[in-house]
Amino acid sequence: MKKNIRPDGKAKVTGKMKYLTDLSFPHMLYGKILRSPYPHARILSISTDEAQRLPGVQAVITHKDVPALNGFGIVTPDQPVLCKDIVRYVGDAVAAVAADSIEIAARALELIGIQYEPLPVLDCPEKALEETAPLLHPDGNVLHRAGFQKGDIEKEFSQCAKIVEETYQVPRQLHAYMETEGGVIVPEKNGSLTVYVGTQHGFKDQFQLARILGMPAERIRIVSSPMGGSFGGKDELNIQPYGALLALKTGKPVKIHQTRQESMRSSIKRHPMKITMKTGIDREGRLRAHQTRIVADTGAYATLGPAILDFAVEHAAGPYMIQAVDTKGISVFTNNGVSGEFRGFGGNQVTFALEGQIDRLAEAIGMDGIAVRRLNIRSKQDPGPLGQRIVETDGALDVLESAAAVYAEKKRLPLKQDTWKRTGVGMAVTMHGGGLGFGRLDPAGGRLSFKEDGKIEIAFGFEEAGQGILAVIEAITAGQLGCAKEDISIIIGDTSLVPSSGSTTASRGTSMVWHSLQRLKKPFLQKLLARAARKTGIEEKRLSVGPGGIQVNGEYKLSFQELAAGEEPIVVAAQFDFPVSPDPIDSAHFLYTYSGVVAQVEADLLTGRIRVTGLHQTTAAGPVVNEMGYIGQIEGGGVMALGYTLMEDVTMTEGHYAVENFDSYLIPGIVDVPFNLQVRAIESLPAEDHYGPRGVGEIGTVAVAPAIASAIYDAVGLRVSRLPVKPEALLQSIERSVLYES
C-alpha cells in the first residue's frame, strides 16, 4: 500500500523547505536582544550611547521606543516588552539592537551600559508566598487559585481502609524544538509590517503586536508557518516585538534567530509543580476520597499559567469516579524562568501524581493495580471530572483493557538473567481534554474555495509545526469531498490569506478541520454540482465529485479545470466554536481522549541507570486520519515524556539557569529510547457520536511518566515521587533494599 505522504514532506527531506529562520531579504539587518543579568533587580540607568556609536549599528531600542503598550501576554500583558524600572527574571529584555551583522549586534549589546540594584530573589513559590516577600506584581505573588470540590471528603476518608499521602515533585521541562525562535520582520513600502516568525496562533500575534506598536491589526501581516517544532513553546510572543520595533525604527528588514543559549534563557518551559495527594480506598478497592494540593511555579509572568492550573485541577482525579474530591491549586509568581504552554498543559504533572497514588493504594490493600483501576474507572455515561457532561465514549475502559492485556503479556516474559540488572513492567492510564474549555474564547473556522484555475483551495488559520496538520487537512478534505489530493491546494499560516480558525493548540486542529468540513461540504458541493449541471446539461442528482473532476454515475465526465473555465470562484466559509459541555462549568472540557501506557524498564544496579526497553501506548481518540502522523505524534510524545521522566530538568539556582544548551540539558537520543515503539489506536466511537476524529497532539505525552515509575517499582522496589528519576535516587534506594536482600 502506498503510504500517505505528507504534503510538506518532499521539501523537508530534500532540504528545500524554507523555514522562517532561513529567510533573508535585501538590506536585511540582524537583531539581538539584551536580557537581564539578574533575576530580580531595579534598573537605575540605561546608557546606549556607546553602542549606538559602534559602526554598523543601525538602531538601539529601550522601553522609550515602545510606542503603545509596553507589555505582552496572551491573556494578561504583564511582561514588559522592554523593562523600564524592574527586571523580574533573567530572560527579561532591557534593550535590543539592529546592526549590519550578527557579530556587530552582539558586540553592541556589550557596549550597552545598565546599572542595576539587585533585589531579593524569590526562587521558589514558598519564598514568594511568605508574608514579607517583595511583591513581584501589583496584585501580589499569587497569580491564580483554582479548585474543585465534590462530596464530603472527611466523611469519605473516615470510611477508607487505607489512606496514602504523598508529595510529588515534577521538573521544569524545555520544549527543545530544534528550530529556536526567530524569523524576519519586514517593513513594507506602504507602511505595513510583515512578520515572518513562527507562532501557534497568527491572529493572536497580530493582536498582541498591534497593541504594542499602536498600529491597526490589519496593517500587520503574520506569516507563521512552517516551524521547526513548537510543542506549545512558540504560542506566546518571543522575539516578534523586538524585530518589529527594530524594523519600524530602521525601515529595514530585521532578522533575529536566537541561539540555543538565548532560547534557553528566554523561552517558556513546562511548569514545575509540587503536588500533594491524599487518597483513600475502601476494603473493596473503591476510591472514596481524593484530596489534591498543587503549587505551580509560573515564574515571572503569567502567559497561560492560570489556564494550565485550571487544567491540572480538572484532571486531578483523572478518569476515576471518586466519591469525594477536594482539589486546590495555586500558581505563584517567582523570579524563575516563565512557565507556560507545553504539550499536555498541566495534565502530565497531575497524572504522574494520580497514577502514583493508585499504585500505592492498590498495594496498600493488597490488590492488583489494574483491578483497582477497573473498579473505579469511568464508564461511558459518567460525568466528566468537574461534574460536567462530556462526549460519551468507552475510551477510558478501552485503553485500560488494552493496557491490561499488554501488561499481562509483558509480565509473562522471562526475567533477564543478569546479576546487576533488574527488569520491570508498569502501566498507567489517563484522559485528556481537547480545546480550551468552557467559557474560553475558542473560535474555529475554515474556508473552501473553487478557484478560477480549477483548484479546490482549503484555508485554515492553523500553523504547521511538524505535527502534520497539512496532511490532516489534505486527507480530511479529499475524503469528505471525494476529490483527489492533487486537486487540493492548502493555505495556512498567513493572516493575510486565512480565515480565523483559533489557535493551533490544545489538540484542537484535527478536530476543527473535520468539524469545518462537516459545515463546508454541503454548500460547497451544492454550488459545484449546480454549476456542473449547468455546464453539462446533466441533472444534478446524477453528478458527483470524484478524483480530478465531476463524475456521472461514477464515470469521469468533466475535469475541474473545465468546470472552472470562464467562471467566478466559488467561496464557502464557516465560523463556529469548539464544542463545549452543556453544563456551564468554567474551563471544563467536553471532548476527551484516552491513553493507556505500558512501559518496560531495565535498571542497572551498579550505575543506577534506568533504560526504558519497551513503550506500548494505546490511544482512544476516534478514527485515525493519517496513520503515519498519528503514530508519529504518539511515539514522539512518548519519547518526549520519557525524557521528562528520566533525564530532563531545567534546573535553576537562585533564579539563574544552571543549564544552557544540549550539553547540560540532555533530551533523549536514539540510544535512550526503545528501538521498537508500539502504538495502538482504538478508533471505534459510539454509533451516535458526531464529533469525528480527535486530535492526538498531546495525549501521547501524558501517562508515560507514571507507567515508567510503576515499572521502576516493579524492577527495584523504588517508589518514585520526584522526576526526573536520577541514577542517584535509584542507587540510594538500592542500598536500602535490593542489595541487602540479596
Partner 1 sequence: MKVNHQTAEKTEAMPVSFLLNGETVQLNISPVMRAVDVIRNELNQTGTKISCGIGRCGACSILLNGKLAVSCLILAYQLEDASVVTIEGLSDGKQMHPIQEAFLEEGGFQCGYCTPGMIMAAKCLLDSNPKPDQADIQKAFSGNLCRCTGYGGIVRAIQCASSK
Asked if residue 690 binds partner 1 (CB under 8 A), the reply is no
Interface residue with partner 1, options 85, 110, 453, 486 (CB under 8 A): 110
Of the pair 549, 668, the CB lying nearest partner 1 is at: 668
**Site size toward partner 1, by CB under 8 A:** 68
Of the pair 247, 679, the CB lying nearest partner 1 is at: 679
CB atoms within 10 A of CB 363: 16
Residue 678: CB minimum distance to partner 1, A: 9
Of the pair 297, 649, the CB lying nearest partner 1 is at: 649
What is the C-alpha separation between 413 and 515, in angstroms, rounded?
44
Residue at grid coordinates 519497551? 614
Residue 107: CB minimum distance to partner 1, A: 5
Of the pair 176, 213, the CB lying nearest partner 1 is at: 176
| 3-class DSSP assignment, residue 592 | strand
φ/ψ of residue 602, rounded to 5: -130, 120
Scanning 379-468, the segments in alpha helix (DSSP H) are: 395-411
| Stretch touching partner 1 by CB under 8 A, among 133-141, 216-224, 596-604, 667-675 | 667-675
Q: In the stretch 263-302, what mask flags binding to partner 1 with x, by CB under 8 A?
A: ----------------------------------------
| Stretch touching partner 1 by CB under 8 A, among 1-9, 240-248, 396-404, 687-695 | 1-9
Residue at grid coordinates 531545567? 650
Q: Is the peptide bond before 226 cis (omega within 30 degrees of 0)?
A: yes
| Stretch touching partner 1 by CB under 8 A, among 153-161, 598-606, 625-633, 714-722 | 625-633
φ/ψ of residue 627, rounded to 5: -55, -45
Question: In residues, how long is the chain?
Answer: 742
Strand partners, 324: 289
Interface residue with partner 1, options 179, 463, 487, 604 (CB under 8 A): 179
Of the pair 103, 154, the CB lying nearest partner 1 is at: 103
CB of 397 within 8 A of CB of 416? Answer: no
Residue 369: CB minimum distance to partner 1, A: 26
CB atoms within 10 A of CB 159: 16
Asked if residue 98 binds partner 1 (CB under 8 A), the reply is no
Interface residue with partner 1, options 52, 259, 276, 575 (CB under 8 A): 259
End-to-end CA separation in angstroms for the chain: 53
What is the C-alpha separation between 216 and 128, in angstroms, rounded?
39
Asked if residue 648 binds partner 1 (CB under 8 A), the reply is no
Asked if residue 327 binds partner 1 (CB under 8 A), the reply is no
Of the pair 693, 697, the CB lying nearest partner 1 is at: 697
Asked if residue 465 binds partner 1 (CB under 8 A), the reply is yes
Asked if residue 16 binds partner 1 (CB under 8 A), the reply is yes
CB of 597 within 8 A of CB of 540? Answer: no
| 3-class DSSP assignment, residue 470 | helix
Residue at grid coordinates 515499572? 711
Residues 45 to 74: which contact partner 1 by CB under 8 A?
56
What is the C-alpha separation between 197 and 221, in angstroms, rounded?
10
- R_g over Cα of the chain: 27
Strand partners, 330: 145, 295
Asked if residue 454 binds partner 1 (CB under 8 A), the reply is no
Asked if residue 7 binds partner 1 (CB under 8 A), the reply is no
Interface residue with partner 1, options 638, 692, 695, 706 (CB under 8 A): 638
| 3-class DSSP assignment, residue 417 | coil
What are the C-alpha distances in Å from 376 to residues 159, 235, 289, 323, 556?
Answer: 16, 36, 12, 10, 56
Residue at grid coordinates 553602542? 51
Asked if residue 104 binds partner 1 (CB under 8 A), the reply is yes
CB of 40 within 8 A of CB of 99? Answer: no
Residue 468: CB minimum distance to partner 1, A: 7
- Please compute, for residue 14, the number of CA atoms within 13 A of its CA located in the half-sphere on the CB side: 6
What are the C-alpha distances in Å from 566 to residues 264, 535, 561?
Answer: 55, 11, 10
User: Pairing relation of β-strands 182-187 and 287-299?
Assistant: unpaired
Asked if residue 639 binds partner 1 (CB under 8 A), the reply is yes
Q: Residues 734, 737, 740, 742: what is their CA dihedral angle, to the nearest 10 degrees?
A: -90
User: Pairing relation of β-strands 591-604 and 570-577?
Assistant: unpaired
Interface residue with partner 1, options 49, 67, 68, 103 (CB under 8 A): 103
Residue 498: CB minimum distance to partner 1, A: 20
Asked if residue 662 binds partner 1 (CB under 8 A), the reply is yes
What is the C-alpha separation between 618 and 595, in angstroms, rounded?
6
Of the pair 393, 467, the CB lying nearest partner 1 is at: 467
Q: In the stretch 125-164, what mask flags binding to partner 1 with x, by CB under 8 A?
A: ----------------------------------------
Residue 592: CB minimum distance to partner 1, A: 23
Asked if residue 223 binds partner 1 (CB under 8 A), the reply is no
What is the C-alpha separation between 209 and 66, in angstroms, rounded?
11
What is the C-alpha separation between 432 and 354, in angstroms, rounded?
13
Of the pair 173, 349, the CB lying nearest partner 1 is at: 173
Residue 99: CB minimum distance to partner 1, A: 9
Interface residue with partner 1, options 635, 648, 649, 698 (CB under 8 A): 635
Q: Please report the beta strands in 404-506, taking only residues with DSSP state E, as ranges in sequence order.
A: 421-434, 443-450, 456-459, 488-491
| Stretch touching partner 1 by CB under 8 A, among 43-51, 170-178, 364-372, 513-521 | 170-178
Cell of 439: 467559557
Residue 643: CB minimum distance to partner 1, A: 9
Interface residue with partner 1, options 543, 631, 652, 712 (CB under 8 A): 631
| Stretch touching partner 1 by CB under 8 A, among 207-215, 304-312, 623-631, 719-727 | 623-631
Interface residue with partner 1, options 94, 97, 667, 681 (CB under 8 A): 667
DSSP notation for 469-535: HHHHHHHHHHHHH---GGGEEEE-SBTTT------S-TT-HHHHHHHHHHHHHHHHHHHHHHHHHHH
Residue 311: CB minimum distance to partner 1, A: 22
DSSP notation for 640-688: HHHHHHHT----EETTEES--STTTS----GGGS-SS-EEEEE----TT
Q: Is the peptide bond before 724 cis (omega within 30 degrees of 0)?
A: yes
With 0-12 / 13-18 / 19 or more C-beta atoms within 10 angstroms meaning exposed / middle / buried, residue 611 is: middle
Asked if residue 18 binds partner 1 (CB under 8 A), the reply is yes
Asked if residue 663 binds partner 1 (CB under 8 A), the reply is yes
Asked if residue 1 binds partner 1 (CB under 8 A), the reply is no
Interface residue with partner 1, options 31, 228, 253, 305 (CB under 8 A): 228
| 3-class DSSP assignment, residue 627 | helix
Residue 575: CB minimum distance to partner 1, A: 29
What is the C-alpha separation between 310 and 496, in angstroms, rounded?
34
What is the C-alpha separation between 28 and 101, in angstroms, rounded?
9
Interface residue with partner 1, options 366, 553, 675, 688 (CB under 8 A): 675
Asked if residue 607 binds partner 1 (CB under 8 A), the reply is no
Q: In the stretch 506-545, what mask flags binding to partner 1 with x, by CB under 8 A?
A: ----------------------------------------
Residue 263: CB minimum distance to partner 1, A: 9
Interface residue with partner 1, options 346, 629, 706, 724 (CB under 8 A): 629
Asked if residue 435 binds partner 1 (CB under 8 A), the reply is no
Interface ranges with partner 1 (CB under 8 A): 3, 5-6, 8-19, 22, 24, 56, 101-104, 106-107, 110, 175-180, 226-229, 231, 257, 259-262, 465-468, 628-629, 631-632, 635-640, 642, 661-663, 667-671, 673, 675-677
